[in-house]
Amino acid sequence: MTNAELDTTIRQMLNAAQRVLITTHIRPDGDAVGSLLGLGLALQEAGRNVQMVLPDGFPHVFRHLPGADQIRHDVQPPFDLFIVLDTADVPRIASGLNGYQVDLCIDHHVTNPGFARVNLIDPEAVATSAILAEHLPAWDLPITPEVASALLTGIITDTIGFRTSNMTPKALRLAADLMEKGANLPELYKRALIHRSFEAARFWGYGLVNLKRQGRLIWTTLTQADRAAAGYQGNDDADLTDILSGIEDGDIAVLFIQHADGRIKVSWRAKPGWDVSALAARFGGGGHPAAAGADFYGNLEDVQEKVLKATQELWEQQVIKSNSITAKG
């Protein structure tokens, strides 16, 4: 099917449906909720009955987005079209929703197998929100200021503020179009990427004061005691990995996070030229060359020793490889 034929098919599907159910992946990020609200509000504007469902709940940091108060935890049948956004595979659909046949999948993950009846998958797109910004006009759906705000939030977050290596002129043009349609870039950018709660900033503090260096490896730990002392309620790292990956004295950064259930989540971040994805996979995790993670159980010190040793070995193997490519004699 050509792109134009796919657009026609999707327009007809959306036109024929009256009651639309939309969801996105578990533990939704900014692109997930931006896509969900962007498409959901555009369909509502066009007169459809839309259910936007996130069994996991809606991330607090995006509560300022228009339509956030409409997100529900449960499906209320009936519906005649089921759309899944920004979701690479079926296991990433929440368990309350994974029994339904998916009619339409819109996504930008290169690994997406195309699990829906109709699939629009564009791995070149920086965000699923960018795919929607490009295609909504072809589906006769309006980009109101509210829709534009949701979609621009998705582009801002998946590109960490227009700075990931997959950024394109096309993505910047789509972002500019969304500004023209009423999205407030500086405000949305601050809300998505800059604003922190006091508790999150204190939690960072514990991670930063414990920062350690071992050759070109940078690492630190956030314990349950740190979380309690900071008063941080989230069960994530409050984006501390973004800070670690920016430290220029390290090629690979490792963050150890202790959770209440005894799990130790290890996150790796690597500079260009290093690939931590296979290392994470060896420990039962996964990810991308520049960003990967895995879960461990056991004593924190033992996990740290094992992970740092393996990471140091990986660094040595890859530095030899990269020297052989870049050596100037």
Considering only 126-134, 219-227, 288-296, 321-329, which stretch makes contact with Mn ion by CB under 5 A?
126-134
Least Cβ distance, residue 286 to Mn ion (angstroms): 16
Contact 39, 85 (CB under 8 A): yes
77, two tokens:
């049948």
Least Cβ distance, residue 174 to Mn ion (angstroms): 14
Count of Cβ atoms closer than 10 Å to residue 206 Cβ: 19
Least Cβ distance, residue 148 to Mn ion (angstroms): 18
**Residue 107 binds Mn ion, judged by CB under 5 A:** no
Whichever of 123 and 215 has its CB closer to Mn ion, that residue is: 123
Among 158, 226, 237, 251, binds Mn ion (CB under 5 A): 158
Considering only 19-27, 153-161, 203-211, 218-226, which stretch makes contact with Mn ion by CB under 5 A?
153-161
Contact 220, 258 (CB under 8 A): no
Contacts with Mn ion by CB under 5 A: the residue count is 5
Angle of helix 145-158 versus helix 169-180 axis, rounded to 10: 150
Among 13, 21, 31, 119, binds Mn ion (CB under 5 A): 31
Query: From the centroid of its chain, how far is CA 186?
Result: 20
The amino acid that residue 25 corresponds to is: H
Among 86, 103, 237, 251, binds Mn ion (CB under 5 A): 86
Whichever of 128 and 221 has its CB closer to Mn ion, that residue is: 128
Q: Which residue's beta carbon is nearest to the bound Mn ion? A: 31
- What's the sign of the alpha-carbon dihedral 142, 120, 157, 238? positive
- What's the sign of the alpha-carbon dihedral 123, 127, 128, 131? negative
Contact 283, 324 (CB under 8 A): no
Whichever of 31 and 251 has its CB closer to Mn ion, that residue is: 31
Interface with Mn ion (CB under 5 A): 31, 86, 127-128, 158
